[in-house]
Structure 1
């Protein structure tokens, strides 16, 4: 099941996980995890809006109450199912529980497939995912140095990065067996119309908020406000683990920053590789025509 990898990573079913937040015990816990029918999982490929979802979900599930978001670190209020904190905090979360995961569909625990737990899958333009991941590797001491941007792009396209290929992850979660259990949103939609996306999420969850409560959640969950929330901006993490002098964890929160990093040649190469991977999937994204 588990093979020890490089100094910084372990390998699990062929995927790279950082040792800083994953170990054999946490992955065994994940495999045996018992999901409840009213659980909600936000699934993301890394650097696609996970922290944002950890900010959004508690107030949506608690009638707009922002207490947890202001007083509990995001990794404890909406924990990763597969990380080392999960066994310590998961049983303390009130029902309905919100959690996050970077896992592909086929590696979810058996209880996921027999439960009615719902999924919100957030996708982000892979070019911006790449840029965000590149900067994260620069500031996180527990990850390998990314090398040049071009070198890191090659690793990304080959799937030699955390959680494997972006295209494999996206395709795995387009499984028709999920039916109405899954809601698809994009990071770009959240930037353009956060209120509209939150209303879609509430409808998906069968919940309602008053206009005033929704206004409050939308305001609090803006990137500008989230960046100043010490329970969410990773400022609680020691500098020797995540060095904000090299790059802030919540960096820009925009779409299209890739245009500041890609040469025309690299853009063509990257686009062709992603299109080739997705050519038989019929998956379309709003950024495909950019």
Structure 2
């Protein structure tokens, strides 16, 4: 498959060349956002697919047909990926767009508009575990080696898509300049309906009980895992080795405890405290 072994480097970040080129990345940084655009921002494996489904249901007023008939990468295409220009629907209303890019790369373009940003964060220990398993599945990402080796790269910020710490702190730092709704994976897990109501308020969408009921049903982990429009089962095995597991693996909170050794956990805690001690981060997750 095209550029499967290529690593693209942009603004000091390594990215899979199968999905990104210098041209597509430059286009992302100069994209003319509209005031009506809604941008989903995440570090990989932090709840991106979940938020794409939630917003689809909110904007369809609970009608599941778009979520069950249109792939999520068409409903909310990735700004920095090579197919974005050909996929984005040039509608008069809102456009849902997704990105993994850090704030230092994307914020200057965003600040030229009143586009709304929805940032989803997740416990970095769970992110590291999920990202490791995704590397084993995705053939366009490097072989992660052992979990121990991968975890060191994650903490150093040398994995593809860069540093989790930089990503979260960078976007948090834009809260005065951009219209940002910040939510965590753990909050979605704890109270999906309540989080959806807050999102509806942020987006100016009135949500009736029928919409929320439909959203709760369709956006459960089990429903998304079985939805071919969301679970990436449509991706050919040459790109994702489905024999290595599912894209939607567990969808739980705290799975890191099944993977971290005491030594790994102590190292992670030291780095986390050093990197995040001055960050104004609302983090409803347990690091213990």
Place the TM-score, normalised by the shorter chain, in its bin.
over 0.9
Shift of 1:92: 4.0
Going from structure 1 to structure 2, the CA distance change for 1:180 and 1:35 (only over 3 Å counts) comes to closer
Query: Which runs of 4 or more aligned residues in structure 1 lie more than 6 Å from their structure 2 counterparts after TM superposition?
Result: none
1:175 and 1:98 mapped to 2: Cα distance? 22
Shift of 1:209: 1.7
- From 138, 141, 150, the equivalent of 2:139 is 141
Alignment coverage as a number of residue pairs: 286
- From 191, 211, 214, the equivalent of 1:213 is 211
2:8 and 2:55 mapped to 1: Cα distance? 30
- Structure 1, unaligned runs of 5 or more: none
1:244 corresponds to: 242
- Structure 2, unaligned runs of 5 or more: none
Q: What's the secondary structure of 1:245's corresponding residue?
A: helix
Q: Which segment is superposed worse, 235-244 or 124-133? A: 235-244
CA contact (8 A) 1:8 1:143 kept: no
1:220 and 1:141 mapped to 2: Cα distance? 29
1:109 and 1:264 mapped to 2: Cα distance? 38
CA contact (8 A) 2:44 2:100 kept: yes
2:248 and 2:91 mapped to 1: Cα distance? 25
2:265 corresponds to: 267
1:99 corresponds to: 97
Q: Which segment is superposed worse, 122-131 or 19-28? A: 19-28
CA contact (8 A) 2:10 2:22 kept: no
Shift of 1:129: 0.3
- Cα-to-partner distance string for 1:75-126 (whole Å, 9 max, x where unaligned): 1110011111211111345621111111111111643112110111100000
- From 225, 228, 232, the equivalent of 2:226 is 228
Q: Does 1:202 align with 2:200?
A: yes
1:22 corresponds to: 20
CA contact (8 A) 1:55 1:221 kept: yes
Q: CA RMSD in A?
A: 1.8
1:118 corresponds to: 116
CA contact (8 A) 2:5 2:18 kept: no
2:40 and 2:276 mapped to 1: Cα distance? 23
2:204 and 2:222 mapped to 1: Cα distance? 28
- Cα-to-partner distance string for 1:241-282 (whole Å, 9 max, x where unaligned): 111111210000011110000011110111111110112224
1:271 and 1:180 mapped to 2: Cα distance? 30
2:57 corresponds to: 59
1:222 and 1:170 mapped to 2: Cα distance? 25
1:93 and 1:235 mapped to 2: Cα distance? 28
Shift of 1:190: 0.7
2:75 corresponds to: 77
Going from structure 1 to structure 2, the CA distance change for 1:206 and 1:95 (only over 3 Å counts) comes to same
- Normalising by structure 1, we get a TM-score of 0.94
CA contact (8 A) 2:120 2:183 kept: yes
